[in-house]
Structure 1
Amino acid sequence: MDFTTSRTPYVALTPDQSTFDSDIPLAHFDVSEPDSASRRPTGSVNNQRSFQNSLTTKWRKFFSKCNMTCENNIGLLLITVSGAFASMMNTLVKKLNSIDPPVPILELILVRMLMTGAASLLYMWITNVPDPLLGPKGVRGLLALRGVLGFFGIAGLYFSLQYLSVSDATVLQFLVPMCTGILGALVLQEHFARDQAFASLLSLAGVVLIARPASLFGHTVSNPQAETVRNIPAVLEGRSDYMEATPTQRLGAVGFGLVGVFGATGAYTTIRAVGKRAHALHSVVSYTVQCTVVSVVLMLALRTPIVLPTRLDWIGMFLAIGICGFIYQVLFAMGLQRETAGRGTMAVYVQVVYATILDTVFFHSTPNLPSVIGTSIITSCAIYIAISKKNPDERKRQQSLLSSQGADHSLEEGLLDYQDQNIEPPESKDDDMTISTNPIERPELSFEGLTNDEDAPHAS
């Protein structure tokens, strides 16, 4: 019997081509074929985003580091800014001495101290600072000592100017930062590292390059009409008056200059010793009061004539000298309250840079190559001292880490010692919540002598 097969062969319905007819509806996003050439590569987008993120991260780290550096060196920055006002005050003094008739030095000191002291007392009275004239009871002796030493500092400088050139006298005055750092380390037990001492010596060398004293570089005259009266190191041209001094007089002037160095060193160290126990203006008031009294006494003793201002620009420079002197004293005292004596007084060297700039702007004097080299040395040393200071929080963390490591080491040695002697370490008395892992021994129950079954315990 023959059987025929009615099964039809299987035909696959899977399409074998990617192009469909137009009657088949397509989705909206498949209407147009994407152009591979116009498609933006994903890798470039990711690279651009990662580059932007890295730039943002680096900028934040840089800003955070700068902010931390400023906070860590706030005292040094205050002293540096105060140097700008001191240089501006000295520039005004130089301009004022060019007016005919010139103002005597003692009169300038008197006017400056009167205005600075009056402004300080007025500010302390407005802000209700207690004891504005004498200061707090605990530091009145230090404040009085600061005023006396400050007077010896300024008196030694001006007496040395009788037989020394300005540059020679002020080079001696720039021994103050190094001496202050040494005295602060000896008396106040402050940290004065070797790198700070080396930077101080380099800065002093930079000052010598800018000042070029006649005792080292000889007598040079390039402009007989030029003169320098500021108490910042500068090239003094026209030294004929100073050449007439005898060796004995010059030696005495050097001695007065060293007295001024010791006075300024003691004054700066005293300000640091007072610290934040007194307001910054207390130090300024003590200094101005005593300098005012001594200036009046010297003017009466030496019969110094008083020159009254007769011009508006003269009065304006007088007022500007007083204002700049007030700001300088306040910022300088605030800076020394927040900084060690050694690092703080090193910022005084930056005044040379300010003085060079102001001399170029107001008097059109062009600095020579040694002055540029000296300015670069001083600026580099100041930047190094500011950057090299460690963060006090980081120093505390390092000290705590070292102390904890020492404690762990001693504990380890103690445990090893107990182990070698086969002695168990003593238990702490404060540990009342210790859990014993030994099994508790319970007394066994004896049923001997019990005759009745009722007296025996029933098993549960």
Structure 2
Amino acid sequence: MKASIWDNRGLFLILISQFFCSTMSLTARLLETTPERFHPLQILFARQTITSTGSFIWMRWNSVSHAPLGEKGVRWLLVLRGIGGFWGVFGLYYSLTYLDLSDATVITFLAPIVATWACSVIPGLNEPFTRHEILAGVVSFLGVVLIARPGDLFASVAGAGDEAESAPGGGEDVIPHQRLVAVAVALLGVLGASTAYTTIRLIGPRAHPLIAVNYFATLCAIVSLVSLLFIPSIGGIVWPTSAYQCALLGGIGVSGFVMQFCLTAGLQLEKVGRGTNMMYTQMLFALFWERLIWGTSPGWLSIFGSIMILGSALYVGTRKQKKAEPPAARTDEEVGFMERRGSIDLQEEEEQQRRT
């Protein structure tokens, strides 16, 4: 039992990361619903600044090898991981401007499928994209669809004309063209996120997980700060006015740090097919927070979708990988017999050579 748990430690790290990811999303929602209405880029800046600072301090304290830039041979992969991660986050946040949270979330769950396929065709990885993983991925994605129920998204995109719709949160009206652009940017975010997942597998053990996290967090913090300072439409930086808001901003940074560390470490230990399927459990934690904080109960579709997600994750996580069994140890009698047999064969061969 202990060996089985240790063999699946990568999956457990990813599961922990999804819990903190849901906690981070909960904190972001609480910040965005305060009277000050913190902009998503400001929340991202706070989160990634704390994550980057925590990563740097941890690496210095533990004398992580080649920190903070990593080995020269993998620096371009680390930069690519940071760029992919940024576009993944940007695609999600931009789509939330015009799409409901459920619509935007269900699109992001396309990233694990894309990443699994990419790792099966990239030279050097060639990870098997088995029928079991394809089935688990499809079932998990269908479970997410049942929970999110994004029917309005496809109905509005397919509809004709530019009739305005209500924006998420009761904001300005959104026309179908804007929603279509939001879907396109969300799909760009899917490519970014899948690039980040795939790059982590390419890096593997050649870089400490915190080095990869630091690249991503630092890049996002810089871009967010520049956007807050130089894009007038954002409205600038909003300063917290209460201990509650300060605690939320600090909490989102700590949650982001733990999430990124566990996710990166988990993906370095697990191949993407098994690891990214576990990410669907984030929806289960989201349902838990919805019930605990806002008192909302999931419907039967959400419950059934949750069962599909959890069942697929457990199926992939507990499925044993086939490994070559080492040869069984031979007894002393077997070794002695083989030595005698070899000696007899050698004598017969020498006798045969003399005769010829």
Kept after mapping to 2: 8 A contact 1:359/1:365: yes
| 1:85 aligned partner | 20
Kept after mapping to 1: 8 A contact 2:115/2:194: yes
Letter in 1 for 2:226: V
| 2:97 aligned partner | 162
| 2:127 aligned partner | 190
CA distance in structure 1 between the aligned counterparts of 2:241 and 2:181, rounded to whole angstroms: 38
Aligned CA distance change for structure 1 residues 139 and 431 (closer, same or farther; 3 Å): farther
Q: Does 1:396 align with 2:324?
A: yes
Q: How does 1:45-444 map to 2 (within 5 A)?
A: 64=1, 67-187=2-122, 188-215=125-152, 239=168, 241=170, 244-303=173-232, 304-390=235-321, 395-397=323-325, 434-435=346-347
**SS of the residue 2:113 aligns to:** helix
Give the CA deviation at 1:191. 1.4
Give the CA deviation at 1:315. 1.2
Report the TM-score when normalising by structure 1: 0.67
> Which structure has the bigger radius of gyration?
1
Kept after mapping to 1: 8 A contact 2:98/2:168: no
Give the CA deviation at 1:161. 2.0
CA distance in structure 2 between the aligned counterparts of 1:139 and 1:87, rounded to whole angstroms: 30
CA distance in structure 2 between the aligned counterparts of 1:112 and 1:164, rounded to whole angstroms: 23
**SS of the residue 1:435 aligns to:** helix
Give the CA deviation at 1:165. 1.8
* Structure with the bigger percentage of helix: 2
Give the CA deviation at 1:389. 3.0
Aligned CA distance change for structure 1 residues 103 and 269 (closer, same or farther; 3 Å): same
> Greater RCO between the two (CA within 8 Å, min separation 6)?
2
Report the TM-score when normalising by structure 2: 0.85
Give the CA deviation at 1:214. 3.8
Give the CA deviation at 1:245. 2.2
1:144-171 deviation digits (Å, cap 9, x = unpaired): 1100111111111112222222211111
CA distance in structure 1 between the aligned counterparts of 2:130 and 2:3, rounded to whole angstroms: 21
Letter in 1 for 2:68: L
Letter in 1 for 2:32: N
1:177-209 deviation digits (Å, cap 9, x = unpaired): 111110111112001211111111111111111
| 2:160 aligned partner | none
Structure 2 regions of 5+ residues with no counterpart? 157-165, 329-341
CA distance in structure 2 between the aligned counterparts of 1:431 and 1:253, rounded to whole angstroms: 78
Kept after mapping to 1: 8 A contact 2:24/2:256: yes
CA distance in structure 2 between the aligned counterparts of 1:185 and 1:154, rounded to whole angstroms: 24
1:367-392 deviation digits (Å, cap 9, x = unpaired): 111111111110011111112132xx
Aligned CA distance change for structure 1 residues 238 and 259 (closer, same or farther; 3 Å): closer
CA distance in structure 1 between the aligned counterparts of 2:137 and 2:223, rounded to whole angstroms: 32
CA distance in structure 2 between the aligned counterparts of 1:148 and 1:357, rounded to whole angstroms: 32
Aligned CA distance change for structure 1 residues 69 and 115 (closer, same or farther; 3 Å): same
| 1:37 aligned partner | none
Letter in 1 for 2:211: H
Aligned CA distance change for structure 1 residues 126 and 343 (closer, same or farther; 3 Å): same
CA distance in structure 2 between the aligned counterparts of 1:205 and 1:274, rounded to whole angstroms: 31
Kept after mapping to 1: 8 A contact 2:229/2:237: no
Give the CA deviation at 1:241. 4.8
| 1:406 aligned partner | none
| 1:28 aligned partner | none
| 1:416 aligned partner | none
Letter in 2 for 1:267: A
CA distance in structure 2 between the aligned counterparts of 1:276 and 1:149, rounded to whole angstroms: 19
CA distance in structure 1 between the aligned counterparts of 2:169 and 2:206, rounded to whole angstroms: 49
Aligned CA distance change for structure 1 residues 198 and 306 (closer, same or farther; 3 Å): same
**SS of the residue 1:308 aligns to:** coil
**SS of the residue 1:100 aligns to:** coil
CA distance in structure 2 between the aligned counterparts of 1:321 and 1:438, rounded to whole angstroms: 83
Aligned CA distance change for structure 1 residues 387 and 316 (closer, same or farther; 3 Å): same
Kept after mapping to 2: 8 A contact 1:150/1:263: yes
Q: In percent, how many aligned pairs have the same letter?
A: 36
Structure 1 regions of 5+ residues with no counterpart? 1-63, 220-236, 402-429, 442-460
Kept after mapping to 2: 8 A contact 1:163/1:242: no
